[in-house]
Structure 1
Amino acid sequence: MSCIVNERDKTSTVRIQPGWRLLRGVDHILEPLCFPEQPHATYSDDPACHPPGPHCGGAETLSCLFCSESLPLMHKDVLLKHLLLQHKLVIADVQLIAHLPKYLLYWKGRFLEQPITDFCSEIKTNSTGPVEKQERYFLLCDVLPEDRALREKLQQKRLEEVLEQQQKEREDRSFHRVCMFCNDEFTGNRSDLLNHMAHEHAFSVGLPDNIVYCDELLDTLQSKVDNLQCLYCEKTFKDKVTLKDHMRKKAHRRINANNRQYDRFYIINYLELGKTWEEVQSEDDRELLDDKDDDWSDWRACPVSAVCLFCDLRRDAMDDIYAHMKEVHDFDLQHLRAELNLRFYQQVKLVNFIRRQIHQNRCHACQGKFGCRGDVLRHLRERQHAMMLPPARTWNQPQYYFPTYENDALLCALSDSDGEESDGRAGEDGVPVIAEDLLDARLVKENSVLRNLLKPTT
């Protein structure tokens, strides 16, 4: 909502957008309502249920799969060496595991349940030599479906976290920084500074929408410049003037794409399991265009759950919501639809009307005002008002086309099975609608613009 003030007479005009409520004579809803996010389920023992940290910070520890050995994440190589020498275990493609601490914790639990031979490939060394000199090693890799699924789940969790972080950075207006090449200051959106460096100093780190953890990236670049280090070849120079001349003459006003230190700052490196940005960029899309049988098996839709009209209960299945409202609140929406012959948009207006009344602690039937929602629900139950509706002129109003809650999944599941909107006989107000391509030429008046179009040609 925005307020436009006329400086001449100091009057104001309020501009209302869908989802905002300004009603005369009743309680005002001055901001878009939105159901709270679904509470996170209790974390299970599956480590993939725990979102990984942005970069798997050094405070986390790595646990040995077989003993009590535990080391900080920064000593990853030491633990991997321990697994190899002490327990004869090799983990394939460790660098591609999105969250190694959770990965190790998962397999530590699984190895307590079943022997290692159930999961790992066995490799014998010196197989042709004496038996006493042979050693057995075990390989844990994503050829095992369970391991592959775990890696993909951890990858998906990390991607979700990175996208959430990127969205926060886009919306953050507290950003303040000085350009590392000049004294210009930038506040608000980070993209202003990145675009300034690209246009004014010919130094581009890529499109702002492709970058995440932008503050850390800028800190890294600033540290290199402060240490008189070229951002591309990373050579060190004696002073800033020499550094600037070098970067200008050698066209080194860019970062080194081969430096893996920068990978974590780009969204493309989080998109696919086991692929770097070079591999993603080099993929040939023509084979995708030639594939007529599209495979959507890896599509991950965001789960949508509907919320009860009267309480905070939410369910993924609409039948469960309807059954709950009928059993607990004595409200049968499907019965009302059939009894009153409600068309789709009338159902929309009714749902939005009831949502509005319950939000304002009112009875939707008698319009009685109460102190809290609990009092409203008691009143509905004691007076049996749940299935009672006020006159249609009260709720069948255009203002209730707009959802009371912007993320109301119940509206998406309303029935339109009667087909009254789609059979070409009547619209919302019962006005007959006739398709133009069904008009008979005899019905067209002499002065109609369709007359010449319908006249047979000779």
Structure 2
Amino acid sequence: MVAKMAACTGSKDGQDSILEPLCFPEQPASSTSAPSLQGPSVELLVCLFCPESVPLRQKDVLLKHLLLDHKLVIGDVRLIADLPKYMLYWRGRFLEQPVSDFCSVIKTNSTGPLEKQEDYFLLCDVLPEDRILRERLQQKRLEEVLEQQQLERDDSSFHRLCMFCSEEFTGNRSSLLNHMAREHSFSIGLPDNIVYCKQFLDTLQDKLDNLQCLYCEKTFRDKTTLKDHMRKKAHRRINASNREYDRFYVINYLELGKTWEEVQSEDDRELADDEDDDWSDWWAHPVSAVCLFCDHQSETMEQIYSHMKETHGFDLHQLRTELNLRFYQQVKLVNFIRRQIHQSRCYGCQETFECRDDVLRHLVAEGHVMTLPDASTWNQPQYYFPTYENDALLCTLSDSDEGENGETSHVEDVPVIAEDVSELRALKQSSVLNQLLKSRGCSS
């Protein structure tokens, strides 16, 4: 089953409101309750052996204390998803059993006198219990982040001013993020890749309020100087190497302790196994085509064409034959219908409705299912581009017709006619650049 395709995003003025490529979901999203928005952590880190404790942001102080006072080192601390809970767990275990039962013992000055030798303890994921604990904490953190992300996706109470023009945005966070990317060339990523969005924007706003550049983080004397600096130096972006921003991107929670840079830089050859080099365990999801009108999908194209004809009365093959549509005209027609349905608009008469269900009822009631507007409406270059990036229906279109025996006619019998580019030539001749070149005696 395919999730609903943003059915109620139609625009009343007839203009497109798609701001980024759409994509059919591969599987339905599970409905889970999400926790409330979390602010910066104020948890305490408690020593494993004594009452000493420090705020989480001062973890290096406690790690130094463990090393100097208790001779214990925790391996790969940065890979621990929830350090406070990790410390509490081992504090309890060390009360039950001696530390030597869990940790590797490292002797210093092993070749020197016995009185100068010291034992240090290493707590790391070589110990199966420690590895299991780290994985469990990582899994729990990932679940919390995904729930929070879903909460923010569904949140319609978002309210904030743009950091650059003070325009007010309400509803969903994506409206503000898309506005900043489109109008101010400032993008922090796709909305669906971001989590804890309010805290992220608060962090960026604080930097601007403190007259600090978002990229190089230099401080300037006034707002005008800061704006000029960010414009001239192309610093209207964030610094990807700033670890402060990692917690706002879902990709940084996907694997145990790995950042997005480490995930992307991994060499796939390291995963190769010479003893198991076949593809027998590969189970790929079948490519499914989605109906133009509803969420139904089929694994074969014959099934999806039959579904649209029997359920909705729409026969794409008939339209192709009656209108003598070439391949690229079919592509534009499918993308046009997709977009109109996504915008909750009847593609036959261009009337706009509140949601997709209303459009479908209108199509049937008014007999507009097989009614197309004038070709000038849909036969436009903008509809070369898929409304949904993974639209498998586009892969089935053909220039040829099938005969009664099921065989496809020869492609050579179908003339290939180029698209009319006369308007583009005229536009080129009248362009400002072309006029400037002519005035300088250059050819266009």
TM (norm. structure 1) is: 0.51
Give the 3 Å change call, closer, same or farther, for CA 223–184 of structure 1 in structure 2.
same
Deviation of 1:128 (Å) = 1.3
Q: Following TM superposition, by how much is the alpha carbon of 1:294 offset from its aligned partner in structure 2, in angstroms?
A: 4.7
Q: CA deviation at 1:113?
A: 2.3
Q: What residue is the counterpart of 2:221 in the other structure?
A: 238
- Compute the displacement of 1:260 (Å): 0.8
Equivalent position SS for 1:257? coil
1:163 aligns with 2:150: no
| Counterparts of 1:168 and 1:451, CA distance in 2 | 53
CA distance in structure 2 between the partners assigned to 1:62 and 1:53 by the alignment: 22
Matched, 1:213 2:196: yes
Alpha-carbon distance in structure 2 between the residues aligned to 1:180 and 1:114? 55
Which amino acid is 1:244 matched to?
Answer: K
What is the alpha-carbon distance in structure 1 between the residues aligned to residue 62 and residue 250 of structure 2?
Answer: 29
Q: Is it true that 1:292 corresponds to 2:275 in the alignment?
A: no
How far apart, CA to CA, are the structure 1 residues paired with 2:41 and 2:107? Answer: 36
Alignment of 1:336-351 (within 5 A): none
2:434 counterpart residue number: none
Note the alpha carbon deviations across 1:167-224, whole angstroms, 9 max, x for none.
Answer: 1111111111111110211111101111111111111101111100000110111111
Q: 1:78 Cα shift? A: 2.2
Distance in 1 of aligned mates of 2:148 and 2:134:
21
Change in CA separation of 1:101 and 1:52 when aligned onto 2, cut-off 3 Å:
farther
Aligned to 1:154: 137
Q: 1:174 corresponds to which residue?
A: 157
What is the match of residue 73 of structure 2? 90
Aligned to 2:355: none
Task: Give SS of 2:195's match.
Answer: coil
Does the Cα contact within 8 Å between 1:52 and 1:99 map onto a contact in 2? no
SS at 2:279's partner residue? coil
Q: CA deviation at 1:64?
A: 1.7
Contact 1:177–1:186 at 8 Å: present in 2 too? Answer: yes
Contact 1:52 1:158 (8 Å CA) reproduced: no
Contact 2:81 2:257 in 1 (8 A): no
Whether 2:44 is the aligned partner of 1:57: answer: no
Q: Provide, for residues 327-355 of structure 1, a one-character-per-residue CA deviation record: whole Å limited to 9, x for no partner.
A: xxxxxxxxxxxxxxxxxxxxxxxxxxxxx
The partner residue of 1:262 within 231, 238, 245 is: 245
Q: Within 5 A, what are the aligned runs for 1:55-134?
A: 57-58=41-42, 60-134=43-117
Distance 1:52 1:94, change over 3 A: farther
- Aligned to 1:215, the other structure's residue is in SS state helix
Matched-pair contact (CA < 8 Å) for 1:228–1:240: yes
Counterpart of 1:76 in structure 2: which amino acid? K
Matched to 2:160, the amino acid is R
Matching of residue 278 in structure 1 with residue 265 in structure 2: no
Per the alignment, do residues 293 and 133 of structure 1 end up closer, same or farther by CA in structure 2, a change over 3 Å counting? Answer: farther
Cα distance in 2, alignment partners of residues 136 and 52 from structure 1:
45
What per-residue deviation string (whole Å, max 9, x for no partner) do you get for residues 13-66 of structure 1?
A: xxxxxxxxxxxxxxxxxxxxxxx989xxxxxxxxxxxx99957711x2222212
Of 98, 123, 127, which aligns to 1:144? 127
Q: C-alpha separation between the residues in 2 aligned to 1:91 and 1:185?
A: 48
Check conservation: 1:54, 1:158, Cα contact below 8 A: no
Provide the aligned C-alpha RMSD in A: 3.3
Matching of residues 310-321 of structure 1 within 5 Å: none
Secondary structure of 2:41's partner? coil
Q: Distance in 2 between matches of 1:120 and 1:190?
A: 47
Which residue in the other structure is 2:398 paired with? none
Q: How does 1:20-39 map to 2 (within 5 A)?
A: none
SS in 1 for 2:159: strand
Kept after mapping to 2: 8 A contact 1:232/1:252: yes
Distance across 1 between alignment mates of 2:189 and 2:89: 37
Which residue of structure 2 aligns with residue 42 of structure 1? none
Cα deviation, residue 266, structure 1:
0.4
Q: Is the 8 A contact 1:103 1:150 kept in 2?
A: yes
1:203 and 1:113, CA in 2 relative to 1: closer, same or farther beyond 3 A? same
Secondary structure of the corresponding residue to residue 137 of structure 1:
strand
Instruction: List per-residue Cα deviations over 1:281-329 (Å, max 9, x = no partner).
Output: 2224577697736599xxxxxxxxxxxxxxxxxxxxxxxxxxxxxxxxx
Cα distance, 1:95 vs. partner? 1.9
**Counterparts in 2 of 1:115 and 1:137: CA distance versus 1, 3 Å:** same
105 and 199 in structure 1: CA distance in 2 versus 1, 3 angstrom threshold: same
Q: What are the residue-to-residue correspondences of 1:319-358 with 2, within 5 Å? A: none
The normalised TM-score by structure 2 is: 0.53
Q: Distance in 1 between matches of 2:36 and 2:159?
A: 28
Could you tell me how far apart the structure 1 residues matched to 2:249 and 2:136 are? 20
The letter of the residue matching 1:253 is R
Question: In the alignment, which residue of structure 2 is the partner of 1:196?
Answer: 179
Using the TM superposition, give the Cα deviation of residue 277 of structure 1 relative to its aligned residue in structure 2, in angstroms.
1.1
Structure 2 CA distance for partners of 1:56 and 1:64, relative to 1, 3 Å: farther
Q: Which runs of 5+ in 2 are unaligned?
A: 1-6, 8-30, 284-401, 408-444
Amino acid at match of 2:113: P
* Contact 2:107–2:117 (8 Å) recurs in 1: yes
Gaps (5+ residues) in structure 1?
3-35, 39-50, 297-448
What secondary structure does 2:112 align onto?
coil
SS in 1 for 2:237: coil
Give the secondary-structure state (helix, strand or coil) at the position aligned to 2:189.
coil
